[in-house]
Structure 1
Amino acid sequence: MNKKNKRYSIRKILMAAAIFAGIILLLITSLNLTPKGKTEAQVSVPILTKNENRALRRYNNNFHLELAQAKGLKKPLVSKDEYKTNPKKFERHYDLDEITDNKYYEIPHLTNSLPYLQEPAGEFLDLLGETFCDQLEELGIRKYRFSVTSILRTLEDQKSLRKNNVNATPNNSSHYYGRSFDISQTRFFERGNSAPVYTYRLRNILLRVLIKLQAEGKCYVLLESQTKCIHVTVR
């Protein structure tokens, strides 16, 4: 074989090797991008039992308020003005942690609250998200995120909210103190997908996780039927 033909053969071999490597890479990428497990629609989740429903209404708003006042901020914030002027200074002054989207939950645009919690409450929220995902994995379900819909409220927020929310208390709220947050009962997001999924299957799984955490003394949980939210206050 002359030198010209030899060089041509080497080029063909290298091109074939590159094509083969590209195909292998595409296959690996495709496998990694394919979600593991079943969708929520492909599984059967038992409805809540009477005992579970009782556990979700055992601690009414008075319990949540008393706990938040004992553990949280000393007094409610009047308005968002201080936050709007300097968010970082606001965060440091009140010793609050900003709550942002992560792999466990999403924070939508909040109109009547601020995305802040005291450190123990923020840590609990992450624990809840992690435990929920572990439970999904145990059941063979893909990873989903829940939606946190209300967090730290000011007096002005509560006044505005009362116009549309029958569960918003007229005078005091545990949301004033940085220990409480609300979760949508039925709004979830498959991880990596921005389109919401509305489902009671995932709600029941999440509620069972919360019932367990409540039994362990980590939180109070209140299932609010009229607003379709789950109210949580961290102990």
Structure 2
Amino acid sequence: MNLSKKRYIQGFGIAVVVLGMVRCAWPKVASSPDGRGGSPAAASAVAALDEADDTMAVKSFSVESDTAALRQSRFYHPDGQLVKNKIFSVPHFGNTFPDQNDVQLLSAKRWGVGPVANRADAEARKQELVYVGSNPYFYVDKLRNSVPYLVPRASVLLQDIGRNFFDSLQIKGIPLHKIIVTSVLRSKEDVAKLRGRNQNATENSCHLYGTTFDVCYNRYKTVQTADHPRREVRNDSLKWVLSEVLRDLRQANRCWIKYEVKQGCFHITVR
């Protein structure tokens, strides 16, 4: 059937009138599924705006949560000032660090190298050992009865002790000090000489395996320069802080520790 231009215009006009009457009679017919009027494009735009509002709400909540967390932080006061945490130490050094040689020896044999005969033998075993020298986190004392080597596992432990000690001093508002390492790997020759002067020194020492080191608790290396001297801190205060650090690492099963009274050190073997 041929549709003339006149009839097409008349039909289009009738359809527009009918749709207008339907919209007036039943307004909901022209509404979107969520109850909002408009075309699909308009509905998409509205949905995008709603999503943006939700995103802003989440970000606002995150900022508020972060602010609340800052107010409850153990490191900062609500005004942003650093909290100076108290020094608690440990209840009793001997009870907190009771690990005798027989306990430490099991870990020493598991993780360590075979006992070295002398210093030349130690130098030849560098593929199994790493050099231990003074660095930003600890100071190695002049070694008379040992050589500056440890197995990698023990070296990492020593590094963590020094770094954790720094962190603890920082949050307690105490000037930075380095721990001092007094003994590391000992050869059989070193142990024999030591036993000649010290009858309490054991022949089957954990130091033979490169897993063990001593950290003194009555001396520390102050971190300072000539232009920026540090205030003095009692060694007892530093010892209390160090004991907290060592207790935490021992409880985390990182090491065995013996509190040595006569030698003035913590005798530490990696686990």
* Structure-1-length-normalised TM-score: 0.71
Task: Specify the SS of the correspondent of 1:187.
Answer: coil
Residue 104 of structure 2: aligned partner: 64
* Equivalent of residue 157 in structure 2, options 124, 127, 131: 124
The residue number in structure 2 matching 1:98 is 131
Q: Is 2:217 aligned against 1:185? A: yes
- Residue of structure 1 in register with 2:143 after alignment: 110
The 3 A distance-change label for structure 1 pair 179 and 193 is: farther
Return structure 1 stretches of 4+ with deviation > 2 angstroms: 43-48, 163-167, 192-198
CA contact (8 A) 1:65 1:174 kept: yes
Higher Rg of the two aligned structures: 2
- 1:154 match: 187
Change (3 A) 1:162 1:109: same
Pick aligned residue for 1:175 from 203, 207, 226 = 207
Greater relative contact order (Cα 8 A, min sep 6): structure 1 or 2? 1
Cα-Cα RMSD? 2.5
Distance (Å, rounded) in 2 between the aligned partners of 1:127 and 1:103: 12
**Residues 212, 44 of structure 1: alpha-carbon distance in 2 compared, 3 angstrom cutoff:** closer
Deviation of residue 47 (structure 1)?
5.6
Looking at structure 1, the residues matched to 178 and 199 of structure 2 have their Cα atoms a distance apart, in angstroms, of 27
**Partner amino acid, structure 2, of 1:225:** V
Equivalent of 1:202, from 213, 218, 238? 238
Q: CA deviation at 1:197?
A: 7.7
Q: Please state how far the C-alpha of 1:44 moved relative to its aligned partner.
A: 8.2
In structure 1, C-alpha distance between the alignment counterparts of 2:264 and 2:225, rounded to whole Å = 23
Kept in 1, the 8 Å contact 2:89–2:243? The answer is: no
Residues 166-221 of structure 1 deviation map (CA, whole Å, 9 limit, x = unaligned)? 5410x201101111000111110111369998712111211111111000010001
Contact 1:187 1:197 in 2 (8 A): no
State the distance in 1 between where 2:206 and 2:180 align. 19
Q: Deviations over 1:16-74 (max 9, x none)?
A: xxxxxxxxxxxxxxxxxxxxx9xxxxx98556414x541211x211111111011111x
Query: Alignment length, in residue pairs?
Result: 184
**Where does residue 55 of structure 1 map in the other structure?**
96
Q: Secondary structure at the match of 1:163?
A: helix
The reply on whether 1:78 has 2:113 as its aligned counterpart is: no
Q: Find the residue that maps to 1:125 and give its secondary structure.
A: helix
Shift of 1:81: 2.4
Query: Matched residues in 1 for 2:197 and 2:218: separation?
Result: 19
1:60-119 Cα distance to aligned partner (Å, 9 max, x none): 11111111011111x211111234xxx4x5412xx1110010111111221110100111
State the AA in 1 paired with 2:258: L
Instruction: Note closer, same or farther for the CA distance 1:179–1:54 as it changes in structure 2 (3 Å cut).
Output: same
Q: Which runs of 5+ in 2 are unaligned?
A: 1-81
Asked whether the 8 Å contact 2:86–2:172 carries over to 1, the reply is: no
| Percent of pairs with identical residues | 30
How far apart in 2 are the matches of 1:209 and 1:161?
Answer: 30
Where does the alignment leave 5 or more consecutive residues of structure 1 unmatched? Answer: 1-36, 38-42
CA 1:229–1:166: 2 relative to 1, 3 Å:
farther
Secondary structure at 1:233 match in 2: strand
**TM-score scaled to structure 2, two decimals?**
0.62
CA distance in 1 between partners of 2:187 and 2:198 (Å): 15
Equivalent runs, 1:135-146 vs 2, <5 Å = 135-146=168-179
